Every structure is written in structure tokens, then in C-alpha cells.
Structure 1
């Protein structure tokens, strides 16, 4: 069951990555629903996913600076 939520979270982030508010909203939702090890995996995936997207990297760093997704 947990893997399904993790995969759904990733697909949701891909769908909303064009809008900062929705992107951050999905990250907040992930911080509330994912297990600690899933959060770590998501952060690693986000680094990979945003590697060629500077705008998303900026949003991600702003979010991670707040330590919301960190378990």
C-alpha cells in the first residue's frame, strides 16, 4: 500500500510541476502521508527530476529550507 502512495505522489508532482502553488501543495501533502524512508526516496527523486528544471529547483530549495519534508 505504501508504495502505491509514493508512486501516486511522484505522478502528482509531475502533473503539477508547472505551477508553484500546486507543486508546493503536493510536497506538503507528501510530508503528511509518506513514511520517513519514503520521504528520503522522494527527496532523492526530486533532485533527479529537477536536475534540468531550474525553476523547479528554486521552488524545491525554498521548500526544503523550511524542513517540511525532512523527517
Structure 2
């Protein structure tokens, strides 16, 4: 039988990272983002995606980004 550890989710534990970055971070090598750092990171990732998305036929919606930023500010 497997033991499953239950982790509580806390708003101050929220970070939005790309899959590649999230997989490489741990508590020893990663300093948590401030709200300003988090927003800058998300905006940089979105800028990168706007370059790549058309190649894959993906359309990015600015409403989604605005909603994400709004919710992120509420949580922080």
C-alpha cells in the first residue's frame, strides 16, 4: 500500500512557472518570486509564446492574460 502525503495549498505558495522551470526548482535553489517578479515572468513567457504560437496555429487571447493577472494580484 502506498502512503500519500497531503499538502495544503496556501495562496502564498502560488507561483506560475513554465513546466521546464517548475521541474528544475526546489527549496534549495529557488527564491520565491515577489508579485512584481511573478508578473514580469508571466509577461516574458507570454511574449515568447506570441512568437511561437502562430507556428503551431495557436491563437493567444489577451482576455485570458488579463484575467490571470487580476486573479494573481488578488491572491498575493
TM range (shorter): 0.3 to 0.5
Q: TM-score, normalised by structure 2?
A: 0.35
Whose Rg is larger? 2
